[in-house]
A and B are shown apart, each in its own frame.
Chain A
Amino acid sequence: MPRTVVIVDDHPSFRASARAILEAEGFEIVGEAEDGQSGIAAARALRPDILLLDVQLPDMDGFAVCRQLDLNGNTPAIVFVSSRDVDDYGGLIQQSGACGFIPKAELSGGSLADLVA
């Protein structure tokens, strides 16, 4: 079954690239958001299976979005992405309850499927 994804990232080029590559791999991109608040709204509204969440968002960071969604329950599978190194975030990824982290440059359908499986 194609999984639904909402992409939350403030860089339009990345959103475009990510859509292209994931759609090519069979994922369905149901929504995009360019900041935290709209991301939360989209996640609640569209109830995707996967939330591709950029850590560096203009209004709040990805972890805050994660926490917000946690409170609501029924969270999608959250996968953090960033152009920064995973080491920059230390243990925060694990603590957030997300499924994992993929560096942006290595985003592919396969790597995503591996994490949410």
Chain B
Amino acid sequence: MSGRALVLGAAVGLALAAGATLLVLTSSHEDNKAATLALPAGLSFVASGLVAMWRRPQNRTGLLLAGVGYLWFLSALAESDDDWIFTVGIAVNSVVFGAFVHLLLAFPWGRLPGRRDVWLVVSSYALVLSGSLALLLVDESPDSGCATCRSTIAVGVDDTARTIVRGVVTVLALAFLITILVVVARRFLRSTGALRRALGPVLGSGILVMLVLALQVVVETFSEEAARPFGYVFLVAFALVPLTFLAGVLRSRLARAGSSDLLLELARGTPLRDALARVLRDPSLELAYWLPDADGYVTADGKPLPEETAGRHMTLVEHAGRPTAALLHDPMLSEERELVDALAAASGLWLDNERLQAKLRAQFEFLETTVNTAPSLLISLAPDGRIAHLNAASERASGYDDPEEIRGQYLWDVFISPEERARVEEAFRSRLAHAPGTYENTFVNRRGEELVIAWSTAPLRDQAGNVRYVICGGLDVTERKQRELELARERDFLRKVADTTPSLLVVVNDEAIVVGNSVNKGFAQTIGWSEQEMLGRSLLDLFRPADTYFARLGIASAFNGVEPAERVSHWRTRDGQERAIAWMATPIVDVTGAELVLVCGVDVTERERREADLRSSEERLRAAIQASPVAIVEYALDDRITRWNPAAEQIFGWSAEEVVGGFGKHQPPGRASELRELFRRVRAGEVYMGIESKRIRKDGATIDVEISAAPIRGAGGEVLSHMALFADITERKRQEDEVRASRARIVQAGDDARRRLERNLHDGAQQRLVALSLSLRLAQSKVVSDPEAAEQVLEAARDELAAALDELRELARGIHPAVLTDRGLAAAVEALTLRSPVPSTRGRQNVNVRVSRENGSALVQVADDGVGGADAAQGSGLRGLADRVESLAGTLAVESPAGGGTRVSAEIPLHDPPPA
């Protein structure tokens, strides 16, 4: 504010003061005592306001203070005797309080901080004005101290209305006062630090003033007399108020001297931030430095400014146009621009210094973090090899618990194995110290762990080129070495596996060229080409020309990620053979990451051969079954027929189409349980042969069959089906029956012959001999007494005997004619024909007998020219003859056409006589 304005303001103030004094003195109704007390209050306000405006031009507090002062003097118009002026004075009197409230709420910035405050102030102005106007309207003599003073705008109202209006106004005023009190109190309680300190006295005095006023108003309604002392107190308090305002506004003036204090503090060694805080009386003050690299503010300990700056103001400090620093401080200090600037200038260099320090520390922090978190060992050595510094990784690797023990020791004593130490020391002294180098070493650290470190060193020279430090970097390659070892072992293992497997393995690229390290022993053994010989050759060369297309396709598909499928191809071996290989191509990736194809194959030549053999043997079996004269029927486990060979068709009559797939029609009814039992037995694994049974043919006839059956087993030994073989034995059975019957007949004939013989003996010769015996006895008994009779008896006995002999002879001939033995077949036949009777009743006249030997057989032919009609089957004689001929393996033929004679011929095979 310019000096001239201030002087003018002062002049106006004085003028108003003078005017007010004059009014007071000339007033007929005013008590001089009170008036005199009122004056200083006004002067106090005006003076304080002017001072504030001079020292703090931006702060409107000053203006408000002065304003309150002017209004105060103007309210002296109420002292005038003139009613109009009086009325105006009363009205202005109230406005003073509105202005005062304004002043109070705007403190300390001179501006109302929020809308609410604005409304409060506006309503307070409105209230006081309307209140006083209301009072003026209703009350003719509003001032109790002046009975004669009249309100010019008063309207005539009755007492009740007046009382009501007064009451309402009073209540409103009270309410209003209380509201202001509450707002002010809250503001005080909510503020902290410097603001509180500033607000304290002001608000305190303000509150006090308002309380007093409130009391006065209250008491006044009861007793005007009693209220008077309150008025005096009010005036005193009111006069003091501006002083507190002034003090609050100018408070920093007292601290202005603090800039020299600051320098003193800094010199004493107090850190800048603390010194500033002390001088500005803001313990929460924080300093931040501008870092161009970081493009932001960083606190003294290198950390960036926190985002939260709630409740604090930031004042930027610039130096020569560039941002230097920032102060985070209490909002109150924003008023103290000059102070801050002065302090900033005073501490400019200090700030600069601290900024640089912050920068350096940030860089150092970064480096330190890098060095300490690096997994590599980082050691700085003095030029003689002693350890100066080492990072966390080095400390760990050393195995020492206390890193301090390491510092000062020689590098090789701590980190190099004993046997290498001398060499390393020598190398260091001669070479390493002067040129970068690398070296790998295995050592056992303090803790007993074995580590492998790959060292590299580089010298650090100063400006003169001398080596100041040697920086030693070490990479812990223990794990790597371990892994390398594991990998090598794995490779060896896989190599062994590849070489032991009988399968053949070969690795090719997408052109089917065999790539290195890529053919196993199995391949070499099967195909004959070794690794070296195969390298670089196309695998397709080994394939039969017809198969190369599919080989190419297989390999290409593998490259394209198609599911590998097994193929069987023929590969040529080194010695020109062809072998069947079942192979498959799968994509693989080698150690370099190249995409290749692994071809894996198995030699299936033997398998193919066996399969071919199996097929051909199956064919033979099938042919055998088809050609077999024996019916072969195969039954599945569900009893259905699955095979019916041509012999079965012939024996049973049904064709294969009629039977296969269905159930057997050839099984006779009534034998179901027998069949079930047979099926069960064969399915249980039994093989049976030669069981005789009966079956039916398609034409309904029953035939005799001989059955053999066996189960057919699968690979696991389980029964899959069974086969039954049927041989038609009807003819054989018939022949057997025939032979049996023939034998029976022969035996019977033999029995009959013997019976006849016995009978003949009994009835014939035996009787004669008996008679002979009796005759002899008779003769004996008579020989003495009657010799002639005896002689007759003996004669008769001789006849008897002769006859007996004849009979015996005859018998013997019947058994076995002696003539046959004595004179041979021809003579015997002749003798027989002479003896044989030829009954004439049959009409046989001539009989021709011929016995000859032809083709190794005896041929006997007897023919007559009788009536014929003989039937071998009917006549037992002829049948018995046939039996006897057949028992000699001969044949008898009888031809006896009716009326055509009878011819009987027998052909009997002759055997060579056994060797004697």
Contacts and interface: CB of A to CB of B under 8 A. Distances in A.
Interface of A: 11, 13-14, 16-18, 20-21, 24-25, 56, 83-84, 104-108
Interface of B: 762-763, 766-771, 773-775, 777-778, 781-782, 793, 800
A48 B800 CA distance: 30
A105 B775 contact: no
B774 A17 contact: yes
Nearest to A15: B771
Contacts of A108: 777
Contact of B768 (A13, A20, A21, A106): A13
Contacts of A16: 771
Contact of B773 (A25, A56, A84, A105): A105
Identify which of A17, A18, A25, A104 gathers the most chain B CB atoms within 10 Å of its CB.
A17
A104 B770 contact: yes
B767 A83 contact: yes
Contacts of A106: 773
B774 A83 contact: no
B485 to A, nearest CB: 116
A20 B775 contact: yes
Contacts of B781: 21, 24-25
A13 B777 contact: no
B778 A24 contact: yes
A25 to B, nearest CB: 8
B767 A11 contact: yes
A29 to B, nearest CB: 13
A13 B778 contact: no
B797 to A, nearest CB: 9
A14 B766 contact: no
B778 A107 contact: no
Contact of B778 (A20, A84, A105): A20
Contacts of A24: 778, 781-782
Contacts of B774: 14, 17-18, 20-21, 104-105, 107
A83 B770 contact: yes
Given A56-B762, A83-B762, A17 B770 contact: yes
Contacts of B762: 56, 83-84
Does more than half of chain A's interface fall in helix, strand or loop, or is it mixed? Answer: helix
A21 B775 CA distance: 7
Nearest to A25: B781
B767 A21 contact: no
A13 B771 contact: yes
A106 B771 CA distance: 10
Contacts of A17: 770-771, 774-775, 778
B288 to A, nearest CB: 158
Given A13-B771, A104-B767, 4 more contacts: A11-B767, A13-B767, A20-B775, A84-B762
Identify which of B774, B777, B778 gathers the most chain A CB atoms within 10 Å of its CB.
B774
A114 to B, nearest CB: 15
A40 B664 CA distance: 72
B777 A14 contact: no
B756 to A, nearest CB: 15
A112 to B, nearest CB: 12
A17 B767 CA distance: 10
B801 to A, nearest CB: 12
A35 to B, nearest CB: 14
A24 B789 CA distance: 11
Contacts of B778: 17, 20-21, 24
List the 8 closest A-B pairs by CB distance, nearest first.
Answer: A17-B774, A104-B770, A105-B773, A17-B771, A13-B771, A11-B767, A21-B778, A83-B766
A106 B775 CA distance: 11
A108 B776 CA distance: 11
Nearest to A13: B771
Nearest to A20: B778
28 contacts: A11-B771, A13-B767, A14-B774, A16-B771, A17-B770, A17-B771, A17-B774, A17-B775, A17-B778, A18-B774, A20-B778, A20-B793, A21-B778, A21-B781, A24-B778, A24-B781, A24-B782, A25-B781, A56-B762, A83-B762, A83-B766, A104-B767, A104-B773, A105-B773, A106-B773, A107-B774, A107-B777, A108-B777
A82 to B, nearest CB: 9
Contacts of B793: 20
A108 B779 CA distance: 12
Nearest to A10: B763
Contacts of A21: 774, 777-778, 781
A107 B781 CA distance: 13
Given A17-B775, A56-B762, A105 B770 contact: yes
Nearest to A104: B770
B510 to A, nearest CB: 116
B769 A105 contact: yes
Contacts of B782: 24
Nearest to B764: A11
B199 to A, nearest CB: 169
B56 to A, nearest CB: 180
B44 to A, nearest CB: 188
B766 to A, nearest CB: 5
B770 A14 contact: yes
